[in-house]
Amino acid sequence: MKVNTQSLNRYFLFLILSLAPIIRLSASWNNFIINYKKEVYGKGSQTWQIASYNNNWVYFANKNGLLQFDGSSWGIFPLNNGSDVRSVLPSSSKKRIYVGGINEFGYLEPDERGKLVYHCMSDSVKKPIRSIGNIWRIYENDNILYWQADGVVLKCLNGKYTLISADSKIDCSNLVNGILYIGTNKGVRILIGNTFFPLPGAKALDTKRIRGIVPYKKGVIIATAYDGLYYWDGKVLVPFITGIEAFMSQNEIFSIASSKNLIALGTVHMGLIMINTSTMQVKYFNENNGLQNNTVLSLGFDCRDNLWAGLDNGIDYICMNSPLSNLYSYPYSYGAGYSAILSNNYLYLGTNRGLYYTHYPVSLSDKVINISQVPQSSGQVWDLSKVGDDVFCLHDRGIFLVKGETMERIGTISGVWNCKAMINNPEKVLLGMYDGIYLMQKEQGEWKPKKKLEGMNESAENFEIESDHVLWLHNNDNGLLRIDFDLANFRVKQIKYYGKEKGLPSNKNVYVNKIANKIYFTTPKGIYKYNAASDVVELSPEMSNLLPGTKSYLKLYQYGNSILSLSKGEVDIASLDKYKHPKGKTFFSIEHPSIELVSGFEKLVPLSESEVIIPNDYGFALLKVPSKNTPLLRPAVHIRAVYLTYPSDSLIYSDNFLGKNYVPEIPYYRNSIRFDYNLFSFTHGEEASFRYRFKDQKDWSDYTSSLTKEFSNLAEGEYTFQVEAVFADGTSTIDEFKFVILPPWYRSSVAYLFYFILFLFFLWYLYRWDDLRVKRKKQQAVLEKDRELFQKEKEFEKENARKEHQIMELEKEKLEYDLQHKSQEMANLMINFVRKNEMLTEIKHELFKVISTLKGENTKQPKQMLMVVSSKIDSNIQSDEVLKRIEEQFDLIHNNFMKRLSEKHPDLSTNERMMCAYLKMNLSSKEIAPLLNISLRGVETIRYRLRKKFELERDESLIDYLTNKL
């Protein structure tokens, strides 16, 4: 039998390397894990595969459909048959996302508006090919697509489908270097042509359950459910020793993923394991350190080498490529971190709950980290400080000396913020208290509080010692204080205040720092120092040059020859030897959802040149400084969605993995538009300020934290909306979106065409109008002549009418004259008649006088004769003929008045009728009495009888009735 010595040598070399001592770097703590509960992305519990497309998009094959995530928003796209999505493949060559479910497969690609649209491919193939069950993986190699199902692989080349049977159940698969590997219940197979062949030299796997295959060096690493990992280099299969084979056997490997020198293994019972194949460091991620669920169904590295984990319930994101890690997380929390200190292999942790400790380097395993509380330390710890070999705990209840795993109280004072050793005498320490500064001194090996500084009762949370007799203190109530004191008597000699009038940009948010034995003040507008010559506070140019400019700083720290600055979202590290060489700067973002600095107590704790502890609201984070200065990878801003907001919200654009967009043409009546934008950030920690503008505008808007902007009543025209995200270090990123607001209908192209046609019609109408005008002018000339003739005729007729009117007026005047004459004649007649009657009456009276004088017998005849004359006189007075003539004459003048009176009132007597005539003639009662041969009283009696016969009321006039109503 011939032995392949080369293969054996390779095997033993690999075995020796595998059994070498495993290096475990304890400096790195637990990586931060961001949890996404199923309620966030659509309630689908299981996630079967994870794949990313460039730096910004991640896709998940989930129970409820394909999930898309851009760092800020989730989208879900179900299959046509509603089945679970089992597999996903983002194809950069085809510019689409392939998906596989149960008896269904297809792809998604963005339409012109950016919205992902699903295209079912399985509907176009015959039923035997379509009914292949669960499609667990999809691969693309050149122009060939592979769909791995439960027992077969469907191959698609140029639209032609071929079913390739594996003759066994397929548990996993992978395409490595153009070769399709499948793990079956009969071992590992490789596809050659359209046939599967056993993996050469891997017969040992035939009885094992294969869970995954990933590329490694010249071959592949094969993960089994219970028997660990194996490496196949193309010829020989050897065990891949990690030292955690027992752990893998107990917890059952279910999924695997690799990236560069990292291999991630998901288990059924205890979360996942991360193996660094270069250092053989093993890290554990489970429910003890932040994972939502211990059953890991799928794993996937993104383009930043961070790891996504699809759990049995939920999705987690593990920040592997971050210099930040954390010590503990919920639910195994020990409180908000305020301070930490390393001493004698103990790492002490001061929190709002008390003082805790753990051994250093911190030991990490699959169990909860071992952290214990120092007895009798419950309560608020403000700071931890080391003076010489002594560690002090500055507590709400006072100051304590920490000794190993215990501590003891010093004196009876309470409420201690911090402590600072005197410069030339480390056995004297100043304590910053709630109500001033105390002196603590070491006597015969014991620390004792001695005396409070006389003349100063300010809270001393933030102070530094400049010299043996000068200290600086700041609080937000009184600003910055320079205190000159007498150390011997421990009494204040002088206090000077420094605020805006002395050069500070602000009296608030100022911190006193001591770097290289010099005092500096960090402010919202840079780092300041004290100028003793001019007695003012001024900007420090050397610090601005050493650190990144005049931005807002919180604290400064010195560790060895390095200076560290803490800003709201950034840690900057520089060498003190490089004041004029800013290339030595290193910047680290600490903007992370699980790191939130304790407001007012922001702090850094340098452990070494490369390790810094950052206490925060959630505990303690560790910043591990890389050996090389790697630039910050800032997330890009993107316009996520665009909506028209009137009359109701309607989506017109969605961002997509291809960055495919179009220029929408928006009707004028819908000229209100809203832009939703965000960062491509999976850690959600990068804080940025946003500003926006239209590209043709010179000025940007003011900075805002809002993630949406709406415009309304935009005028027609072409627009390019730009949004810029600006980060704390001054870097920025821009995205833009173009769109067109169409003019209103009355200013559209169709409208202008209509206006042009209307103008042509107007010209034609103008021509026709001018032609008609000429014709009308001719006709008008004819009409004018006719009108002149007609006018002359009218004037002639008018003249005739005027003459006839004059004649009628003359005739009327004549008639009126005749009437007047008749009236005058009748009046004269009446007057004569009255005078005659008066005369006859008078004669009658005289006759009666004569008769009365005649006496005797001879007077009888004369009396008779006189009586005859008297009777003749009476008959003359009452002559009917005269009355009839007067009546006729009266009717002639007064339009048949007497006739109408007789017709209307036939029961009137002669005197009453004549009375009416006399009243009509406006004769007075005195004039009427002789005409009727009655007294004045008789006239009034007749008037009364007339009113009664005419049925007149008291207020009605008799003359008015006769004149106007008869």
Residues belonging to the chain: 966
Q: How many CB atoms lie within 10 A of CB 444?
A: 5
DSSP state of 168: S
Q: What does the pLDDT read at residue 9? A: 41
CB neighbours of 767 closer than 8 A, spacing ≥ 6?
A: none
Would you state the structure tokens that stand for residue 708, as one six-digit string?
């949406």
The verdict on 428 and 488 lying in the same domain is yes
Asked whether residue 423 is domain-assigned, the answer is yes
Contact 349, 340 (CB under 8 A): yes
Question: 576: buried, middle or exposed (CB in 10 Å: 19+, 13-18, 0-12)?
Answer: middle
**Is residue 139 assigned to a domain?**
no
| The pair of three-digit structure tokens given for residue 380, joined into one six-digit string | 């608020």
- Strand-by-strand arrangement of the 570-575 sheet: 555-559, 562-566, 570-575, 586-589
Is residue 112 in some structural domain?
no
- Give the integer Cα–Cα distance in Å for 327 and 263: 23
Q: Are residues 430 and 285 in the same domain?
A: no
> Which CA distances in Å does 284 have to 225, 244, 266, 289, 776?
17, 11, 10, 8, 105
Domain boundary, last residue among 877, 906, 924: 877
Containing structural domain, residue 801: 771-877
Give SS3 for 937.
helix
- Structurally, the chain folds into a number of domains equal to 5
The answer to the question of residue 382 being in a domain is yes
Sheet with strand 137-141: strands edge to edge = 137-141, 144-148, 152-157, 160-165
What is the rounded CA–CA span in Å between residue 269 and residue 312? 11
Give the SS3 label for residue 618. coil
The whole-number mean pLDDT for each consecutive block of 10 residues of the chain, a chain of 966 residues, reads 40 39 53 93 93 94 96 94 96 96 96 94 86 95 94 93 94 96 96 96 95 96 97 96 96 97 97 95 94 97 93 95 90 95 96 97 91 97 96 98 97 96 94 96 94 94 96 90 95 95 92 95 95 96 87 92 88 75 66 86 92 95 77 81 93 93 92 95 79 92 94 94 86 94 89 92 92 87 87 87 86 74 65 69 79 75 78 67 68 79 85 83 81 83 88 85 81
pLDDT of residue 920: 81
Distance CA 7, CA 627 (A): 38
Could you tell me if 395 and 522 lie in one domain? yes
Exposed/middle/buried for 781, CB within 10 Å: 0-12, 13-18, 19+? Answer: exposed
Does residue 784 fall inside a structural domain?
A: yes
DSSP codes, 883-927 = HHHHHHHHHHHTTSHHHHHHHH-TT--HHHHHHHHHHHTT--HHH
Same domain, 341 and 358: yes
Q: Distance between CA 555 and CA 383 in Å, rounded?
A: 15
The CATH number of whichever domain residue 505 belongs to comes to 2.130.10.10
Q: Final residue of a domain: which of 523, 550, 577?
A: 550
C-alpha span between 383 and 416 (Å, rounded): 9
The secondary structure element, H or E, covering residue 765 is helix 749-853
Identify the CATH number of the domain in which residue 948 sits.
Answer: 1.10.10
Looking at the fold, whether 251 and 309 belong to one and the same domain comes out as: yes
596-630 per-position pLDDT tens digit: 999 999 999 999 888 999 999 999 999 998 765 55
Residues 254 and 281 in one domain: yes
Which of 550, 572, 599 is the C-terminal boundary of a domain? Answer: 550
Q: What share of the chain is helix, strand, coil (3-state, %, to 5)?
A: 25, 40, 35
Residues 157-189 pLDDT 10s: 988 999 999 999 999 999 999 999 999 999 999
471 in the same domain as 359: yes
Bridge partner residues of 446 (DSSP): 443
Give pairs for 737-741: CB < 8 Å, separation 24+.
737/639, 737/642, 737/653, 737/661, 737/675, 738/661, 738/663, 739/642, 739/663, 739/664, 739/665, 739/666, 739/673, 740/663, 740/664, 740/665, 740/666, 741/666, 741/668, 741/671, 741/714, 741/715, 741/716, 741/717
| CB-based contact 59:50 (threshold 8 Å) | yes
Q: Which residue has the tokens 């654009």?
A: 653
Cα separation, 108 vs 95, in Å, equals 9
Q: Give the CATH number of the domain where residue 709 resides.
A: 2.60.40.10
Burial level of 814, CB count in 10 A (0-12/13-18/19+)?
exposed
Buried b / exposed e over 698-727, threshold 16 CB at 10 Å, is eeeeeeeeeeebebeebebeebebbbbbbb
User: Are 417 and 510 members of one domain?
Assistant: yes
Q: Which has the closest alpha carbon to 916: 863, 885, 961, 951?
A: 961
First-last CA distance in the chain: 165
Does residue 695 belong to any structural domain of this protein? Answer: yes
Same domain for 736 and 686: yes
CA nearest to 873, candidates 902, 846, 908, 910: 846
Question: Do both 795 and 844 map to the same domain?
Answer: yes
Residues 449, 366 within the same domain: yes
What count of Cα atoms within 13 Å lies in the side-chain half-sphere of residue 494? Answer: 6
CA atoms within 13 A on the CB side of 435: 7
Contact 656, 642 (CB under 8 A): no
893 found inside a domain:
yes
Whether 514 maps to a domain, the answer reads yes
Same domain, 250 and 275: yes
Q: Which amino acid is at 844?
A: K
DSSP E strands in 202-286: the ranges are 210-216, 219-224, 229-232, 237-240, 253-259, 262-267, 272-276, 282-285
